[in-house]
Amino acid sequence: MHGRVKTRTTAEQQEIKRKEREKKVKLYRAGMEKVFRKRKNDELDEELLEAIGQLLTANPDIYTLWNIRRETLLHFQEFRSKDQMQQLMETELQLTERTLHVNPKSYGAWHHRAWVLDNMPESNWSRELALCNKYLDMDERNFHTWHYRQFVVSRANISPTKEFEFTSAKITTNFSNYSSWHYRSRLLPLLYPDPTSRRPIQENKHKEELELVQNAAFTDPNDQSAWFYQRWLLGRGKQPFIVQNAFVSRDIIFITMSQEVSLADVELKLIINGTTAQGAWHSSDGNVYSHLWIFSPSSEMYHGDVILSEVAVQVMEKNTTHSIHVPLVIDGDLAWTSTESQFGLQFSEGLTSVLEEELDSCAQLLELEPDSKWTLLTSILLMQAIDRHKYREATMEKLQLLSRVDPLRSGYYNDLRSRYLMEYAVDANQTAVKSALPKEINLSNSSLTALYHVHHLSLFRNVDLSCNMLKLSLAKLHLLQNCQVLKLDNNCINTLAAFPELRQLKELSLQNNEITGSEELKYLKKCRKLNSVDLSGNPIMENDDNNLPKIAKEAVPSLQKLNGFLI
């Protein structure tokens, strides 16, 4: 037995660990009590810093301790010399390095280091840049370090060109460096801005980046870093600001913009028969930012004998004035809509050929790996960028395949499909506008799971959204301010709480949904012209005790018909 190492049993080991934990917890509680007691007594001194330092070295993620430490340092600034503060701040930098060894992804430690450098008398930014390089060599995907590096670069006035070269070196070393790709996407618009503001970057550089990311993506098709960067390159960019629609009638006047704006961003003016109308503008949903703005006159603008033939809309945005003459086109009312497409980009032949080559490469990769979700999704984005209408059928097929291959994200793919279908519908109606402004749009049986680009539908009088899956999309209907007949049958709607105020709505069909209680009808009261509601096929009808017509009339005073019958 002599000379043998004694092996402790599991129970003995657990007991030793328990005692060690108890000792640490006791020390931690004593340390925290000391810190809070001294702070309460305004004892902001070296002893307090020492106690906080010991606690943070063990656990650097206690934000309150970092805050108390900064409070103490600010107190020292009131009576200590510049040299003393410099030495003290250098000590703080050493503390953050020790804590970052414990947890290199500590939000508190990185934030405190940035604060120290901004508050110390003299900061050594070249040293900080070297520190970033050191940490990125250890873990090149530590986004905390990448974020801190951007802070250092901004303070050290390092040029975007040098940083762009740095990202190139990191990507060459490892294509899977997501943070480097992301940083690159922030630098490129600074170095190569697109004068049209429709593309992410200038077209020549765009082509180079597409070729670079293609090599990265096909090196490892299962790594998502390069695919995400490629999605950014294929993005549509910021849509230009235009007046989308304008409508003027004796009942309602509104303007629809291509972007959500606030009255702080734009100045709206309505001119009738040469005179600026007096009144106020408000958004269709009550929010500060909106696509659609409604005009409320301060007094009666016109009488029955006044002809609305000279109506103009002016929108002043960033020193640019958009003037719209609104012609007479709808049943004696005045309406105008833009024929400018808001979807897709026009690329040069050279860039289009690069995109087509990438699409061919994706097709070849899918032959080898038919279930590669990133390749499937990129194929869809490429087809949308090259020619959306040419590849419409192929886009829908691949989206359906994606839902099977990647069922956990099927909701996203269904929403993406809904977005594309709405864009196709809007494009079709913009084509029709060239001959006559259409009055109705039919989006029924489209399996829509979400509503996109609803502001493009603001002029339609009849809107059919039946037989879709729009259970949670009612709030977006606030943009249908000219809609008089709205069909929402078979959409699994179980509440009307989000139903918006539609000033022109007269007929609403909600057949075969999941509305159960008569109290839901009160949400329709805001639609003051609503005279017909159809709730056939809803659970509320099964509970009908012959009082529903009376309840409906009380809830919506303007109502005249319920389920097709007079009430």
pTM here?
0.80
CA distances from 17 to 10, 14, 56, 103, 321 (A): 11, 5, 22, 22, 74
Kindly tell me if the per-residue pLDDT of 257 is higher than 60.
yes
The percentage of the chain sitting over the pLDDT mark of 90, rounded to a whole number, equals: 58
Give pLDDT, residue 60: 94
Q: Which residues pair with 282 in a beta bridge?
A: 294
Tokens of 462: 């009849």
Q: Torsion angle of alpha carbons 445, 448, 454, 456, nearest 10°? A: -60
Same domain, 332 and 356: no
Q: Of 382, 398, 420, which one is at a domain's C-terminal end?
A: 420
Same domain, 466 and 547: yes
- Residue 563 near residue 534, CB atoms below 8 Å: yes
Q: Which residue has the higher pLDDT, 504 or 237?
A: 504
Rounded-to-integer distance, Cα 321 and Cα 319, Å: 7
Q: How many domains does the chain have?
A: 4
Same domain, 326 and 380: no
Same domain, 381 and 409: yes
CATH of the domain at 525: 3.80.10.10
Give pLDDT, residue 1: 45
Q: Which of 123-132, 178-187, 336-345, 435-444 has the lowest mean pLDDT?
A: 336-345
Does residue 205 fall inside a structural domain?
no
Give pLDDT, residue 507: 97
- Residue 463 near residue 508, CB atoms below 8 Å: no
Average pLDDT for 336-363? 82
Average pLDDT across the chain, whole number: 88
Give pLDDT, residue 328: 61
Same domain, 327 and 384: no
Average pLDDT for 370-397? 93
Does residue 332 fall inside a structural domain?
yes
Tokens of 273: 């028969």
Does residue 8 fall inside a structural domain?
no
Q: How confident is the model at residue 59 (pLDDT cuts 50, 70, 90)?
A: very high
Please state the φ and ψ torsions of residue 325, each to the nearest 5 degrees. Answer: -95, 125
- Residue 254 near residue 458, CB atoms below 8 Å: yes
Q: Give the three-class secondary structure for 226.
A: helix
- Residue 537 near residue 514, CB atoms below 8 Å: no
Average pLDDT for 230-247? 80
Kindly tell me if the per-residue pLDDT of 163 is higher than 80.
yes
CA distances from 514 to 467, 497, 511, 537, 540 (A): 13, 13, 9, 8, 8
Q: Parallel, antiparallel, or unpaired: how do β-strands 485-487 and 440-442 relate?
A: unpaired
Does residue 235 fall inside a structural domain?
no
Does residue 548 fall inside a structural domain?
yes
CA geometry: angle 345, 347, 366, nearest 5 deg: 85
Q: Which of 23-32, 91-100, 111-120, 183-192 has the lowest mean pLDDT?
A: 23-32
Same domain, 359 and 486: no
How much is the CA Rg of the chain, to the nearest whole Å?
A: 32
pLDDT tens sequence across 407-424: 999 999 999 999 999 999
Rounded-to-integer distance, Cα 12 and Cα 14, Å: 5
Q: Domain limits at 271? A: 243-337
pLDDT tens sequence across 507-536: 999 999 999 989 999 999 999 999 999 999
CATH of the domain at 183: 1.25.40.120
Does residue 57 fall inside a structural domain?
yes
Q: What is the DSSP string of 541-560?
A: HHT--S-HHHHHHHH-TT--
Same domain, 266 and 183: no
Does residue 1 fall inside a structural domain?
no
Q: What is the DSSP string of 97-142?
A: HHHHHH-TT-HHHHHHHHHHHHHSSS--HHHHHHHHHHHHHH-TT-
Question: Could you tell me which of 514, 535, 526, 442 has the C-alpha nearest to residue 472?
Answer: 514
Same domain, 354 and 326: no
Give pLDDT, residue 435: 55
Q: How confident is the model at residue 6 (pLDDT cuts 50, 70, 90)?
A: low
Q: Of 359, 393, 420, which one is at a domain's C-terminal end?
A: 420
Q: Which of 82-91, 155-164, 263-272 has the lowest mean pLDDT?
A: 263-272
As a three-state string, the secondary structure of 298-315 is CCCCCCCCCCCCCEEEEE
Same domain, 53 and 128: yes
Same domain, 367 and 454: no
Same domain, 37 and 66: yes
* Burial (CB count <10 Å: 0-12, 13-18, 19+), residue 242: middle
Scored b (16 or more CB within 10 A) or e, 516-554 reads eebebbebbbebeebebbbbebbebeeeeeeebbebbee
Same domain, 326 and 374: no
Average pLDDT for 367-388? 91
Average pLDDT for 345-367? 85
Does residue 501 fall inside a structural domain?
yes
| DSSP conformation class of 297 | E
Q: Give the three-class secondary structure for 181.
A: helix
* Burial (CB count <10 Å: 0-12, 13-18, 19+), residue 150: middle
Tell me, rounded to whole angstroms, the distance of Cα 18 from its chain centroid.
Answer: 47
**Entry field: residues in the chain:** 567
pLDDT tens sequence across 189-224: 999 988 765 667 888 888 888 888 888 887 777 788
Q: Of 360, 391, 420, which one is at a domain's C-terminal end?
A: 420
Rounded-to-integer distance, Cα 381 and Cα 416, Å: 11
The percentage of the chain sitting over the pLDDT mark of 70, rounded to a whole number, equals: 92
Q: Which residues pair with 106 in a beta bridge?
A: none
Element (H, E) at 532: strand 532-534
Q: Which residue has the tokens 């009312």?
A: 333
Kindly tell me if the per-residue pLDDT of 303 is higher than 50.
no
Rounded-to-integer distance, Cα 342 and Cα 453, Å: 10
